[in-house]
Amino acid sequence: MLAALSPLFSACLVVLSCLALGTALLRRLGITLTRAENRVFAFLTGAACVSLLILGLATLQLIYKPVFYTLTATLLWIAWGRKRETEYETPRPVPRLPIKLSLCVVLPFLVLYFFNAWAPEYSPDGSTYHLGYVLLFARHHGLIPIRTLYGALPEGLEMLFLFAFTLGRHSAAALVHFSFLLALPFLMFSYARRFGFPRAGVLAAVMVFLSPLFGQDGVSAYNDVALAAVTFGVFYLMELWLETNQDRLLIPAGILAGFAFGIKYTGFIAALYAVAPLAIRMWRRRRVLWQPIVMFSAACLVFVIPWLVKNAVYMHNPVAPFLNSVFPNPWVSPRFEQLYRQNMATYAGTNNLVVLFLSFTVTGAKVIGFFGPLFVLAPLGLLSLRTRQGRHLLLAAVVFGLPILSNQGSRFLMASLPPLALALALAVANTQFVVPTLIVLQALTCWPDVTAMYADQYTWRLTSKIPFAAAWHRRRTDGYLHDRIGPTYDIGKIIDAQTPPGSKIYCRACPPEAYTAREALPTYETLLGNLMEDMVFTPNEPNRKPTKVITLGFPRITAYRLRISNPHPRADEVWQINELRILNAGIEIPRAPDWRIDAAPDPWEAPLAFDNNLASRWSTEQFGAAGAYIEIVFRQPTTLDEVTLQSSSDQTAQLTIQAGAQPDKMVQLNPSIRSSVVPVPVGLRRAATLMLKTYGYNYLIAADGDYFTNDYAANAAYWGIRPVASTGGLTLYRLE
């Protein structure tokens, strides 16, 4: 019983801490709101501030249970320890019938959502990097460098997860995100109530809360629902500022805009939207309003800068994992960034607007989630353009929906849904019987048993089975997670049981990071992982095998430096070299430890072209890298007359060579260039395994049906691997 209640208790402590700090902040600012507005904005602004506090504690390596208990007690005392009166505005009256109806239809969903959030966390991203990194922070009692694609993303909400996880483990983090799902409809209704269309507010709040994607995402340790709530909070506060002229409202608006960025890079849209009300006010007054601009910007930057600094320190790139060609680093390459961005921008596999619209609203096919059939009526929201609030809502919906241009996943439209739902509801709410009819239709069409009849079978959504036993721990967690996650969870348990601490596992089908104590990161998340995958694929993939040799001959010269360049590569070319050899009179010059190897781009992998391992390689890791080069500084004069480059491709026409007869002067050589094909080198399998071991890998996981998995089993001796365990089509091999 205590184990089951621990996540609830921990999540409640986090929520109370957020409410307490937010309440103290709003009181200090002297902002007057209705009681409902005060509570919801206290939670959101408090969440931002608590997140920043946890980031500070994590930086100082102070992530301990007693610290969190002390923090909660302190915040509660600050907010409510002494009797303080808070003045509230009198709210507008509410329509009782729509509210009663909405409560009736929402209750079953509320029960479904609550128990799914309380049950063990199993969502794809939640059980991997969202809570996987939180687990690492908790183990190390603070921040550690996680130099991966996802480790570079802002972790504002993960700081709240860290608070909850340290006290109540995985489910506590999911329950914290669930609290944002509860806050969002109250925020939407409060907005509509203040601006005079409460009936529309009820309808819009119900439409969003019952949306299948909001339900599934909101009960998982994700961050999209929180981002939707926070961005809508920015919109709401800016509307209040326009209405009331209280410049102090710009401080919580800036806080939430900064927190939106801290939750997810795409949260920059909140600050982007805030420019519109500021511009409107300045246009009306015909002058620059420096005080509002400074108040908003300063509050925003306080919550943005820490994440930029963290990346600058850990990743050598403040906006990692993006702009890697501007901020080169050894962890994420420009080539991978470009491929990743292209893949995300074409995520759904189509640019047909009708197909995408139906996928987002009805089927969820290839976009991982859908909003519900009622959102097919979204174009009716254009009718709200006749009202001032309708125009503002539609502008917010457009701005908040801009991230869809970079990623076609439906989650990247979630921030735009609250203002869009309000615009739609505003357009139709005054028509008799429309509000109750649409509320009932949304409930009927979004119940999981009904969505199963029309939605894509693989889309991300809840089922109608409420996990009472799993939430109450009446069912073993291992069994529940096995059913939800599958064999990758089982192989993670095997790894923890059968490998020594500190083991490092190469994998494509990896165990969920939040449930394993070993390092087993997917290969695509880092430059090193890309390199390891390339080496492992080389023995079996013909276009990776280093069978091409380019020979550059020139008159004998004594040089201090040698540079081979590719000045004009094709736009789609990534220049690579498996081995570079320097010869004199046909005899290879032995490589010396004092040679200094350099390259641009990607100097970090340049030594791999000199390691006598044909499975490894140096590459530019950048498409069309004009002027790319690899260079050797000999330290003492070296006589040479030939260079050979062995790789999987033939680039005879583009290459040039320079030599330095003096340490500080390079001259262009005019080499004769010839190309030849050599047999496939023997021992590539073992060479790849040796490189894995060189980089600290002790094991690898092979999944049935994955690339070249059969070769591992058929040629285990050639690879130098031994099977340790197998489950559900996954085999764990030890590198010998």
pLDDT band at 709 (very low <50, low <70, confident <90, very high): confident
* C-alpha dihedral sign at 586, 591, 594, 597: positive
Q: Quick one: pLDDT band at residue 114, thresholds 50, 70, 90?
A: very high
Phi, then psi, of 643 in degrees rounded to 5: -135, 135
DSSP string, 255-284: HHHHHHHHH-GGGHHHHHHHHHHHHHHHHH
Answer whether residue 93 shows pLDDT above 90. no
Quote the pLDDT of residue 201.
96
Using DSSP bridges, classify how beta strands 576-577 and 618-619 pair: parallel, antiparallel or unpaired.
antiparallel
Instruction: Decide: residue 377, CB within 10 A, 0-12 exposed, 13-18 middle, 19+ buried.
Output: middle
Lowest-confidence pick of 287-291, 692-696, 730-734: 287-291
What's the distance, CA 430 to chain centroid? 41
CA distance 318 to 327: 8
Is a pLDDT exceeding 80 seen at residue 515? yes
Burial of 572 (0-12, 13-18, 19+ CB in 10 A): exposed
- The whole-angstrom separation of Cα 272 and Cα 279 is 11
Closest to 157 measured CA to CA, from 238, 233, 225: 225
Q: How many C-alpha atoms does 218 have within 13 Å on its Cβ side? A: 29
Percent of the chain at pLDDT > 70 equals 98
Contact indicator for 39, 26 with CB cutoff of 8 Å: no
Average pLDDT on 436-458 reads 95
pLDDT at 199 over 90: yes
**Do the beta carbons of residue 419 and residue 391 sit within 8 Å?**
no
Instruction: State mean pLDDT over 447-460.
Output: 94
- In the prediction, which pLDDT does 638 show? 93
Q: Over the stretch 350-381, which tens digit does the pLDDT of each residue have?
A: 889 999 999 999 999 899 999 999 999 999 99
DSSP assigned state of 248: G
* Window from 131-140, 161-170, 702-711 with minimum mean pLDDT: 702-711
Nearest to 197 by CA among 41, 524, 424: 424
Q: How far apart are CA 39 and CA 260, in angstroms?
A: 19
In total, the chain counts a number of residues equal to 736
- Looking at residue 1, what is its pLDDT? 62
Nearest residue to 414 (alpha-carbon basis) of 220, 218, 561: 218
The DSSP annotation for 349-409 comes to S---HHHHHHIIIII-TTTT----GGGGGGGGGGGGGGSHHHHHHHHHHHHHTGGGGT--S
pLDDT tens-digit map of 26-72: 999 999 899 999 999 999 999 999 999 999 999 999 999 999 999 99
Q: For residue range 478-489, list pLDDT tens digits in order.
A: 889 999 999 999
Give SS3 for 638: strand
Say what the pTM is: 0.93
Band of residue 84 on the pLDDT scale cut at 50, 70, 90: low
pLDDT at 652 over 70: no
Name the residue with higher pLDDT: 176 or 649.
Answer: 176
- pLDDT at res. 82: 67
List Cα–Cα distances, 295 to 22, 253, 635, in angstroms.
18, 9, 57
- At 143 the pLDDT is 96
Digit-coded pLDDT (tens) for 388-423: 999 999 999 999 999 999 999 999 999 999 999 999
Percent pLDDT > 90 in the chain is 80
- Residues ≥6 apart with Cβ < 8 Å to 339: none
Looking at residue 696, what DSSP letter applies? T
Contacts of 30 (CB under 8 A, 6+ apart): 248
| Strand partners for 89 | 34
Region 535-560 average pLDDT: 92
Type of residue at 206:
V
- Which token pair is 394? 């539609």
Structure tokens, 182: 């509860």
Map residue 460 onto helix, strand or coil: coil
| Span 61-87, average pLDDT | 88
- Other C-beta atoms lying within 10 Å of the C-beta of residue 10: 24
Instruction: Tell me which DSSP letter residue 595 carries.
Output: P
| Token pair listed for 607 | 């030594």
Question: What gap in Å lies between CA 289 and CA 298, rounded to an integer?
Answer: 14
What confidence category does residue 727 fall into, taking pLDDT thresholds of 50, 70 and 90?
very high
CA angle 718, 720, 722 (to 5 degrees): 115
For residues 14 and 17, give the distance between their C-alpha atoms in angstroms, rounded to a whole number: 5
Cβ(634)–Cβ(610) under 8 Å?
no
> What pLDDT, on the 0 to 100 scale, is given for residue 178?
98
For 682, other C-beta atoms within 10 Å of its C-beta total 10
Looking at residue 83, what is its pLDDT?
A: 62
Q: Which of 665, 664, 671, 598 is nearest to 641 (CA)?
A: 671
Q: Quick one: which of 402, 411, 382 has its CA closest to 394? A: 382
The mean pLDDT of 598-605, rounded to a whole number, is 94
For the chain, the farthest-separated pair of C-alpha atoms sits apart, in whole angstroms, at: 95
**Mean pLDDT for the stretch of residues 568-597:** 92
The two structure tokens encoding residue 111: 């029960």
Burial 190-200 (b: 16+ CB within 10 A, else e): bbbbbbebbbb
Q: ∠ CA(122), CA(123), CA(125), 5° rounding?
A: 125
The DSSP result for 138-188, as a single string, is: HHHTS-----STTTTS--HHHHHHHHHHHHHHHHHHHHHHHHHHHHHHHHH
SS3 track for 508-568: CCCCCHHHCCCECCEHHHCHHHHHHHHHHHCCCCHHHCCCEEEEEEEEEEEEEEEEEEECC
Q: Are 188 and 208 in contact (CB under 8 A)?
A: yes
* Closest alpha carbon to 328 in 530, 531, 601: 601
Q: How far is CA 392 from the centre of its chain?
A: 29
All structural domains of the chain with their residue ranges: 2-82+92-348, 492-536+686-735, 546-677
Using DSSP's 3-state secondary structure scheme, residue 701 falls into strand
* pLDDT for res 372: 96
**Cis omega (within 30 of 0) on the bond before 679?**
no
pLDDT tens track for 308-334: 999 999 999 999 999 999 999 999 999
Across residues 249-273, what is the average pLDDT?
96
Q: Which two tokens stand for residue 652?
A: 């005879």
* Mean pLDDT value of segment 574-584: 95
| pLDDT average, residue stretch 587-605 | 93
| Helix (H) or strand (E) run with residue 580 in it | strand 579-584
CB burial class (10 A; 0-12, 13-18, 19+) of residue 350?
middle
